């Protein structure tokens, strides 16, 4: 069997184990879908002023929770499940077989990416059916898909990097949540960062990858919303490659750290 087909085969086993584990199926998959339903039900009829224009809060939340879905399926899921496998000696056993390390890791990453795409598809379909969210087409769709790819892979890399500071499986969920939850709040995933958000929050959001990722995703849904300026109307939510680049740089940093510090053996 070729290494690539070994990696794909690994996706199948990862997938089986994922759905049979109630904790991963619930927290990784059901959680982001619950959030989009709760936020849109609570606040979806309202409006939000952002970048000088008024948009539906329902659109805002559909995009934000789609971003949350990607982060949940890649960052949280990969970090926690990999730590459990490391602690349970599954990674060490795999190292004792001829399966190349990259094939094993690709299996996990590909599975996480598939989950992320499914979560985004369900979230966006929900938004389209119940809140008339416009699904991206044409160039914005392409940019959106690239953003998803780069974002998902980058968050997978960061997930593998953070496992290096997680001492054991019990510590995995709290450490992962502590590293991502504050950032989700400071990046407008749960509470929109309107035009009068304190500067320090904007600054924090600008340093880390979550806000850039969500901004790049949002551009795909609102390409035609214009804001008037003295020189004529411009896009209120332009797609910026710089956002994708920041996310990718974080991903590369994660990959470098993971390559240096990732452990296949339980830490004692």
Binding-site ranges for another protein (CB under 8 A): 1, 6, 9, 13, 16-17, 20-21, 85, 88-90, 92-93, 95-100, 265-266
What is the 8-class DSSP label of residue 73? I
With respect to another protein, which residue has the nearer C-beta, 1 or 129?
A: 1
With respect to another protein, which residue has the nearer C-beta, 20 or 260?
A: 20
- In the complex, minimum distance from the CB of residue 99 to another protein, in angstroms, rounded to a whole number: 4
- In the complex, minimum distance from the CB of residue 160 to another protein, in angstroms, rounded to a whole number: 18
The answer to whether 168 touches 267, Cβ cutoff 8 Å, is yes
The full length of the chain comes to 268
- In the complex, minimum distance from the CB of residue 72 to another protein, in angstroms, rounded to a whole number: 19
With respect to another protein, which residue has the nearer C-beta, 96 or 138?
A: 96
For residue 82, give both structure tokens: 């990999």
Distance CA 113, CA 132 (A): 26
With respect to another protein, which residue has the nearer C-beta, 9 or 31?
A: 9
- In the complex, minimum distance from the CB of residue 118 to another protein, in angstroms, rounded to a whole number: 19
Distance CA 29, CA 204 (A): 27
- In the complex, minimum distance from the CB of residue 3 to another protein, in angstroms, rounded to a whole number: 10
Q: What phi-psi label fits residue 202: left (phi over 0), alpha (psi between -120 and 50 degrees) or beta?
A: alpha
Distance CA 119, CA 75 (A): 14
Distance CA 9, CA 98 (A): 15
With respect to another protein, which residue has the nearer C-beta, 95 or 224?
A: 95
């Amino acid at each position: 069997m070729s290494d690539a087909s070994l990696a794909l085969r690994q996706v199948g086993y990862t997938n089986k184990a994922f759905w049979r584990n109630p904790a991963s199926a619930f927290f990784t998959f059901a959680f982001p879908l619950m959030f989009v339903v709760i936020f849109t039900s609570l606040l979806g009829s309202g409006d939000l002023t952002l970048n000088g224009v008024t948009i539906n809060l329902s659109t805002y939340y559909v995009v934000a929770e789609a971003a949350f879905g990607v982060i949940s399926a890649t960052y949280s899921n990969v970090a926690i499940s990999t730590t459990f496998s490391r602690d349970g000696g599954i990674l060490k056993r795999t190292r004792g077989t001829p399966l190349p390390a990259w094939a094993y890791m690709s299996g996990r990453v590909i599975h996480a990416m598939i989950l992320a795409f499914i979560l985004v598809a369900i979230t966006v379909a929900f938004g389209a059916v119940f809140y008339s969210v416009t699904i991206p087409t044409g160039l914005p769709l392409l940019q959106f898909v690239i953003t998803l790819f780069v974002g998902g892979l980058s968050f997978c890399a960061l997930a593998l990097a953070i496992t290096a500071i997680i001492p054991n499986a019990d510590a995995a969920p709290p450490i992962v949540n502590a590293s991502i939850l504050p950032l989700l709040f400071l990046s407008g995933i749960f509470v929109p960062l309107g035009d009068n958000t304190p500067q320090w929050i904007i600054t924090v959001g600008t340093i880390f990858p979550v806000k850039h990722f969500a901004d790049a995703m949002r551009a795909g849904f609102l390409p035609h919303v214009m804001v008037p300026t003295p020189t004529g109307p411009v896009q209120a939510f332009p797609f910026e490659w710089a956002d994708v680049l920041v996310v990718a740089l974080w991903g590369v940093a994660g990959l470098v750290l993971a390559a240096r510090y990732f452990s296949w053996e339980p830490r004692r």
